[in-house]
């Protein structure tokens, strides 16, 4: 079927549908026959292959080699105990693989769950009624409405087009916008201007189309089927974790080889040295670091979603923490987007509050309301107003004054950010007493039901920004006549305009003119003629109150070293008034309007951006893109908000593009990294706070894990240098790394943001996750305290049992097993103190609440249960080579855990006061 060659009637007939759309029963039948309108994702790597991949990465290969050497040594020299070590290392590989696989799987599912929070909805016509449904429920034959910013849900044939422009980049890769029309086309199907393809974007205009291919039958679906899946790239943070893991593993291997060699000089046998080298390697390796970080990012994304900020990819979580500038819209983001017409101005009546239908109005006021009603795309359906908030407020005011106006819209010249106005051509029936009005040049429409229609006339009705509408007018309407507009009239208009703006109102201008009969949309070149020589009618001032939570969010940003820049399409006076109300500006700000920035070179804009308080008004998306580019060139990390189709380039360009979930277009949401589900500026700040907290929590987790490496390494060094019994066995190291440490470490990833996290300056994008401060705190401060605790317990038990220096104890000696158990217990107790110490790098744990993170308490409870099993259960004794400890040993070890926490509290105190 060459659907592009058919007429409108033939299209409807061939798809067995009508201008009223499908019935619900027929749509359901077709969905059952053709399937849901969705692109089926190409199956990724099977789960079993993904699981097996966990056994072949760098760290696993290193451990495989160690295990292989253990088995080989057992074969060559049986009875050295290396068989059990080989089995233990194999257990490490298996546990690490299972842990990593489960964590990555959970993280993946968490991200999938987030995607479901933002459904793709479309407007369709079924059974003669307009409905909004999920795009996956669009069936062949459905009539789909298309408007600026929409993503086309299916391959469809246009049957109506009103200056419709479509960007086919998602399908063809070419970003040029193409005009679309409804006429039949004889030519190649893919080049046909009457076809819109699934996945493409409506740049401007509007239209209505009949879906003829859905899901995998669309051109987009065919390409997806051919190309298969594309493997996702790792985020910078994930790459850094892998890099750190490799570095630590290499250091561990080099250290193991070094001390293996050193052992020969101290008279140790080959197998003793080999055992020692394996112990050093395992003690240094940070098992489970990467999957835990990935899960932490995914869980952080879910937390943000609860705070109405939907993160589309995990990379954005880490980027949020380094944002230095937020470029934000005003309407709906800083304000509530609850528009109400507060004031109206027209000639004669002057500036006054909005009226109701019970008030007596003059001809000029009445005409303003007619334009407001007919030059408008908002609707009143089922007792509710639907549409853009600005247009909804305007049509509500018009209905409350004049009721419903009957007219036929011939065509529309849509609003766009460049023109800053919208015009419609309407055929309006004139009822008595229209002739009286005509005598004085005023088109009084009368009201339906007051008599027969005496005449139908065509009118151009225009509304938009005053600076866009007023220059098109050569006349002005009063209650008595239409007269040529003069300077006094313009001054009166400007005075009312400035007065309303100074109150923070958004001001819309209205104009009209009568024209001859027009039966179809004119050419683009004729629009300028239609919008010339208009008659100016009046102004409406709309109030959009600031969101009550925004002032506190602005203060948070200032405290956090984040600069907030308002970039708005509204006039400068309105922007300043709102900025003062929310505390964005306190002094006289630098204000730049669109026409001014056009004349500025980049260097001058760069200098202006250095101003402490700056507002950009009457901006277009092109201007926004330029501002973002200059800020990024200056090294700033920029978050920018946007909702329109033309905002997409700036959203993609910014470090963090933030789209509006409630009022934003599909195009903007697709281009963004983050979607605000409530369109609220405060949610951006909450997301930044959460992003900073997640980064800090990952550091806390690493600091906690790395601190236990020192008490695991030091016993091996002491064993080689001082010829003492080995204070800690490899199995006991594994008991810490893969047992007692895991749950407290995971609990650190759930820490709430500390009070000081939004008092710090944004971190540099070049700042490493692992810096000298973190490593020195773990390796040179906390770790040595834990090493002292472990060795103290070891020697305390040995000395209590009568051991003397130089005495050799067999590995199965009860005293030796008790002593190594005491060393293990010392590390475990110290790590309990350490988990509290690591809850904050600067804040006292007592100020944030010792028990405020219940997951920490749960983690410690699990740690203690595992410790009881390892130390007191016969099976635990057998696996880990431990022996039960007396109560006195615990008494002398507990002070080390408390002491570690107190030493860290003292360090924080002096660090904070210095």
Catalytic (active-site) positions: 329
What does the alpha-carbon distance between residue 164 and residue 145 come to, in Å, rounded to a whole number?
Answer: 12
Residues 670, 53: Cα–Cα separation, whole Å: 32
Q: Which helix (H) or strand (E) holds 598?
A: helix 594-598
Strand (E) or helix (H) holding 398 = helix 389-402
Query: What are the CA-CA distances from residue 46 to residues 52, 109, 580 (Å)?
Result: 10, 15, 57
C-alpha dist (Å) from residue 372 to 338, 393, 422: 18, 10, 11
CA distance linking residue 822 with residue 871, whole number of Å? 9
Residue corresponding to tokens 């549908």: 17
User: Distance (Å, rounded) from C-alpha 368 to C-alpha 463?
Assistant: 10
Q: Cis omega (within 30 of 0) on the bond before 428?
A: no
Q: Which residues contact 504 (CB under 8 A, 6 or more apart)?
A: 543, 574, 577, 578, 581
Beta bridge partners of 639: 326, 656
The pair of three-digit structure tokens given for residue 382, joined into one six-digit string = 């089922």
Backbone phi, psi, residue 232, to 5°:
-70, 145
- Give 602: exposed, middle or buried? Use CB within 10 Å, 0-12, 13-18, 19+: exposed
- Strand, coil or helix: what is 770? coil
Listed in order, strand segments (DSSP E) in 618-677 are 638-642, 656-660, 674-676
Give the pair of three-digit tokens for residue 46.
């099977």
Distance of CA 50 to the CA centre of its chain: 28
Residues near 216 by beta carbon (within 8 Å), at least 6 away in sequence: 35, 39, 40, 222, 224, 225
DSSP 22: B
Helix (H) or strand (E) holding 179, with range, is strand 177-179
Angstrom distances, CA of residue 516 to CA of 96, 423, 425, 458, 469 = 79, 16, 10, 6, 21
DSSP letter string over 880-912? Answer: HT-----HHHHHHHHHHHHHHHHHHHHHHHHHH
Distance CA 780, CA 138 (A): 63
The Cα-based distances of 495 to 345, 363, 401, 446 in angstroms read 10, 22, 25, 31
Give the three-class secondary structure for 309.
strand
CB 542 within 8 A of CB 390: yes
CA–CA gap between residue 204 and residue 150 (Å, rounded): 9
Instruction: For residues 484 and 460, give the distance between their C-alpha atoms in angstroms, rounded to a whole number.
Output: 18
Other CB atoms within a 10 A radius of the CB of residue 813 amount to 15
């Amino acid at each position: 079927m060459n659907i592009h060659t058919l007429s409108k009637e033939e299209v409807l007939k061939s798809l067995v549908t009508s201008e009223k759309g499908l019935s619900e029963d027929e749509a359901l039948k077709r969905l059952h026959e053709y399937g849901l309108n969705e692109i089926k994702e190409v199956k990724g790597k099977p789960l079993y292959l993904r699981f097996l991949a966990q056994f072949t990465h760098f760290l696993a290969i290193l451990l495989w080699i160690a295990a292989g050497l253990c088995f080989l040594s057992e074969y060559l020299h049986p009875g050295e105990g290396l068989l059990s070590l080989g089995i233990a290392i194999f257990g490490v590989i298996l546990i690490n693989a299972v842990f990593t696989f489960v964590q990555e799987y959970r993280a993946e599912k968490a991200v999938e769950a987030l995607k479901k929070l933002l459904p793709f909805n479309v407007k369709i016509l079924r059974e003669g009624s307009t409905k909004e449904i999920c795009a996956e429920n669009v069936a062949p034959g459905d009539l789909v409405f298309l408007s600026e910013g929409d993503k086309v849900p299916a391959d469809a044939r246009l049957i109506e087009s009103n200056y419709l422009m479509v960007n086919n980049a998602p399908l063809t890769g070419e970003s040029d916008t193409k005009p679309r029309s409804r006429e039949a086309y004889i030519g190649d199907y893919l080049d046909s201007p009457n076809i819109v393809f699934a996945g493409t974007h409506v740049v401007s205009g509007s239209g209505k189309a009949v879906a003829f291919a859905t899901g995998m039958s669309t051109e987009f679906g065919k390409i997806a089927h051919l190309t298969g899946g594309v493997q996702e790239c790792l985020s910078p943070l994930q790459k850094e974790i892998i890099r750190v893991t490799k570095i630590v593993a290499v250091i561990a291997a080099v250290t193991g080889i070094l001390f293996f060699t050193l052992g020969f000089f101290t008279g140790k046998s080959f197998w003793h040295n080999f055992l020692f080298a394996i112990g050093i390697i395992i003690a240094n390796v940070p098992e489970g670091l990467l999957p835990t970080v990935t899960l932490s990012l995914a869980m952080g994304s879910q937390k943000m979603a609860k705070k109405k900020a939907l993160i589309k990819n995990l990379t954005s979580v880490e980027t949020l923490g380094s944002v230095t500038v937020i470029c934000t819209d005003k309407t709906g983001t800083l304000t509530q987007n609850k528009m109400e017409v507060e004031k109206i101005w027209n000639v004669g009546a002057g500036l006054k509050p909005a009226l109701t239908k019970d008030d007596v109005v003059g001809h000029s006021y009445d005409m303003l309301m007619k334009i407001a009603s007919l030059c408008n795309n908002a609707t009143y359906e089922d007792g509710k107003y639907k549409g853009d908030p600005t247009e909804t407020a305007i049509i509500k005011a018009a209905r409350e004054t004049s009721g419903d106006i009957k007219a036929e819209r011939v065509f529309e010249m849509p609003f766009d950010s460049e023109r800053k106005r919208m015009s419609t051509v309407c055929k309006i029936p004139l009822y008595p007493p229209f002739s009286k009005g005509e005598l004085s040049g005023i088109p009084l429409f009368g009201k339906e039901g007051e008599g027969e229609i005496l005449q139908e006339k065509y009118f151009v009705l225009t509304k938009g920004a005053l600076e866009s509408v007023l220059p098109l007018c050569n006349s002005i309407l009063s209650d008595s006549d239409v007269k040529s507009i003069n300077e006094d009239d313009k001054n009166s208009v400007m005075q009312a305009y400035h007065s309303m703006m100074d109150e923070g109102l958004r001001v819309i201008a209205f104009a009209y003119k009568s024209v001859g009969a027009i039966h179809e949309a004119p050419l683009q070149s004729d629009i300028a003629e239609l919008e010339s020589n208009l008659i100016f009618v009046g102004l409406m001032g709309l109030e959009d109150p600031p969101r009550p939570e925004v002032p506190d969010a602005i203060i948070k940003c200032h405290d956090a070293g984040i600069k907030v820049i308002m970039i708005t399409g509204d006039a400068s006076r309105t922007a300043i008034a709102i900025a003062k109300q929310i505390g964005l500006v306190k002094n006289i700000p630098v204000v730049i309007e669109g026409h001014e920035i056009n004349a500025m070179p980049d260097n001058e804009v760069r200098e202006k951006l250095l101003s402490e308080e700056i507002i950009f008004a009457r901006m277009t998306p092109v201007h926004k893109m330029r501002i973002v580019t200059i800020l990024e060139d200056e090294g700033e990390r920029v978050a920018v908000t946007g909702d329109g189709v033309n905002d997409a380039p700036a959203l993609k360009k910014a470090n963090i593009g933030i789209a509006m979930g409630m009022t934003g277009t599909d195009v903007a949401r697709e281009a963004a990294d983050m979607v605000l589900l409530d369109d609220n500026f405060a949610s951006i700040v909450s997301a930044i706070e959460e992003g900073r907290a997640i980064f800090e929590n990952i550091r806390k987790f690493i600091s906690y894990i790395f601190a236990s490496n020192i008490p695991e390494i030091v016993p091996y060094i002491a064993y080689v240098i001082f010829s003492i019994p080995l204070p800690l066995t490899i199995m006991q190291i594994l008991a810490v790394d893969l047992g007692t440490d895991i749950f407290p470490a995971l609990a650190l990833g759930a820490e709430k943001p500390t009070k000081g996290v939004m008092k710090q300056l944004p971190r540099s994008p070049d700042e490493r996750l692992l810096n000298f401060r973190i490593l020195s705190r773990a390796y040179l401060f906390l770790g040595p305290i834990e090493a002292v605790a472990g060795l103290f317990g070891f020697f305390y038990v040995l000395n209590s049992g009568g051991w003397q220096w130089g005495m050799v104890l067999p590995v199965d000696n009860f005293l030796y097993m008790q002593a190594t158990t005491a060393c293990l217990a010392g590390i475990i107790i110290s790590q309990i103190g350490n988990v509290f110490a690591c809850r904050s790098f600067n804040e006292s744990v007592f100020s944030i609440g010792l028990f405020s993170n219940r997951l920490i308490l749960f983690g410690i409870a699990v740690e203690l249960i595992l410790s009881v099993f390892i130390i007191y259960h016969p099976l635990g004794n057998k696996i880990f080579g431990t022996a039960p400890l007396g109560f006195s040993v615990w008494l002398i070890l507990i002070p080390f855990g408390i002491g570690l926490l107190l030493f860290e509290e003292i360090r924080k105190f002096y660090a904070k006061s210095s």
